[in-house]
A and B are shown apart, each in its own frame.
Chain A
Amino acid sequence: MVDMDVSYAEISSSPSQRMMRSLFGRGIPYWSLLIFGLVVIAAIGGENIAPHDPNGLDLGSAFKPPSWLEGGSIDYLLGTDNLGRDIFSRMIAGARVTLTVAVYAIVISGGIGALIGMIAGYFGKIVDTFIMRLVDIQMSIPSLALALVIATVLSPSLTTVIVVISITYWTWYARIIRGEILSLKERDYVALAKVAGCSTTTIFVRHLLPNILNTLLVLASLQVGQVIIFEASLSFLGLGIQSPDVSWGLMLADARNYIGNAWWAITLPGVAIMLTCLSANLIGDWLRDTLDPKRRQL
């Protein structure tokens, strides 16, 4: 009804407001798509497009600042770390590991979590009680302690990181999706689908899933940042990515000791993490708005 969609009110705008809208508004998030696109290209290209060997040691050129600072050289665009490795090349190489972890962890935890959440919410009663107890138990286990156990069993690796993150985060999806389903299943169209003779599978696929996709998308995009940071902490503790593999988190961990000598070595991967997370969030918001048929034509 007319009275309801007041929140979309268009108010007259100044140039600065328009710029804010292009950054954070509801239009196509060009900047975010550009940044995320670059990260994806870096992840696909990896070592092949990096100017230097990401693991190439050159102690002679250690602690070189980024090219635009005094003492920097154009050869090392973003400077070098304590071992003289090119930070730009390592960031390109790290993008692959970071994105791989993010994609696998989100797909696995999101898929499992959403399915379990849908089952709990839809069937209710004992099924629901049992699943939600499981979620409660899972959530009460400190994830780092869990990581320690799993890493000991599986030995630290990319796979371990993905397993640990998936086990930690599925509960998150399960809880939120369950809540969503609890309200969705009360919609009349779900009851009417049953009356029409639709099978439970049809109801899940046709009536429930499309209506939780928005939520899943937003959850997933918000999780990109958390996954990257979680991966960083695991790698920092020695439970995650191991050298010679590179990840942004590992770069942060490595550079931590030299924060006084070479701020760029820790800052630049940090900025990369931040921009990637922000872009992912903004793209997620945009996708949510675009995929909703109600908003599409407003």
Chain B
Amino acid sequence: MTMTMPDTAVAATAPLLEIRNLTKRFNAHGGGVVRAVENVSFSIGRGETFALVGESGCGKTTLTKLVLGLEKPTSGEILFHGADLATASSKAMHGYRRQAQAVFQDPYSSLNPRMRVSKIIAEPLMAHGIGDRDSQRARVLEMLDVVGLPKTAADLYPHEFSGGQRQRVAIARALSLKPAFMVLDEPISALDVSVRAQILNLLADIQDEFGLTYLIVAHDLALVEHFSSSVGVMYLGSMAELGPTESVFSHPKHPYTQALLASVPRPDPDHRAPVGVIYGEIGSAMAPPPGCKFHPRCPYAVDICKTTPPVDRELAPGQLVACHLAETIVPPVQSSIAPL
């Protein structure tokens, strides 16, 4: 199933990345199977920013690993420019790596402490045999400039930088191959509050400058609303709701999306999160509940939810909802947000 992106020129062209019925299962230590990702489908158009949200354990990190080719899917397809990664030859995979890069959450873990910044940024170029030493050096300096670091940064080690600066180095490295696609896994959540906006603005700027397509994983819904054009809400390995960010955030149709949105703490002393929207915690991916996986926590659950897994239904243009009752559920009244 292909999702059409509203009101953009790229809607007509084929998506850059298309995920079809993707499933990933792990064998757990001591027996049992972890169903990390189950039958997930979505697509990302060129120049779009697709956000994956959900609680820890919902499978969003596994999904990014699959997309980056760090894990092999159990079944399903990951089509990049129409070619399936799961069955790609190692040569085709190497070509894909030139196009798809990543920035991870923890800028302390994502830079090798024993390499100088120049080598960290040039490493992808070396891995693909692009350019000689001089041109690689030139690219390093160019990238440092793009991410707003001085040229002198090239000869320093990662520990000489603050968290925000390290994340700039990580972005420069991801950019050095001038890729078409970038995975951003919680790119700002490990940073100080006062530098988060710098990094977020930088990511927005380079997206415009280099025509990048983003897949961003985040737990901060305000950030997702701000930054993404489409969003997928995951719960226990499955996609609960999927669609253009604007319609999902203004008219959430899945009870889980509604609960998530209602729970976000807001910097407004007069806002009170409605208590008791949902109780309990996310279940185990080793023994997901039958039927709709969300039913044990869902305040609206009826008999059919306990037995039959819901299928995705398009309830608004581009907005797919996996809920039997989506049409009948009235979202809880959101307290309005007064301007500060």
Bitwise, B113-146 to A at CB < 8 A (1) or not (0) is: 1110000000110011000000000000000000
Interface membership of B306, Cβ < 8 A = no
Interface membership of B257, Cβ < 8 A = no
Query: What count of chain B residues pass the 8 Å CB interface test?
Result: 30
List residues of B (60-113) whose CB comes within 8 Å of A's CBs: 65, 68-70, 94, 97-98, 100-102, 104-106, 109-113
Give Cα A26–Cα B157 distance, bound, in whole angstroms.
22
Partner of B114 from the list A195, A198, A202, A211 (CB cut-off 8 Å) is A211
Give Cα A64–Cα B185 distance, bound, in whole angstroms.
75
Interface membership of B160, Cβ < 8 A = yes
Q: A195 near B128 (CB under 8 angstroms)?
A: no
Q: Say how far A80's CB is from chain B's closest CB, in angstroms.
A: 52
Binds B, one of A160-168, A185-193, A241-249: A185-193
Q: B101 near A194 (CB under 8 angstroms)?
A: no
Q: B111 near A189 (CB under 8 angstroms)?
A: yes
Give Cα A192–Cα B175 distance, bound, in whole angstroms.
13
Q: A194 near B70 (CB under 8 angstroms)?
A: yes
Closest A residue to B93 by CB, please name it: A197
Q: A195 near B113 (CB under 8 angstroms)?
A: no
Q: A294 near B159 (CB under 8 angstroms)?
A: yes
Q: A297 near B160 (CB under 8 angstroms)?
A: yes
Most chain A Cβ neighbours within 10 Å, of B65, B105, B110, B127: B127
Closest B residue to A192 by CB, please name it: B110
**Which residues from chain A contact B102 at a C-beta distance below 8 Å?**
191-192, 195
- Dominant SS at the A interface? helix
List residues of B (263-302) whose CB comes within 8 Å of A's CBs: none
Most chain B Cβ neighbours within 10 Å, of A191, A197, A198: A197
Closest B residue to A187 by CB, please name it: B109
**Which residues from chain B contact A191 at a C-beta distance below 8 Å?**
65, 68, 70, 102, 104
Q: B123 near A188 (CB under 8 angstroms)?
A: no
Interface membership of A137, Cβ < 8 A = no
List residues of A (183-226) whose CB comes within 8 Å of B's CBs: 187-189, 191-199, 202, 206-207, 210-211
Give Cα A271–Cα B98 distance, bound, in whole angstroms.
60
Q: A195 near B109 (CB under 8 angstroms)?
A: no
| A interface, CB within 8 angstroms of B | 187-189, 191-199, 202, 206-207, 210-211, 293-294, 297
Q: Considering the complex of A and B, which 5 residue pairs feature the smallest CB-CB distances, nearest first?
A: A196-B124, A188-B110, A197-B97, A197-B127, A188-B109
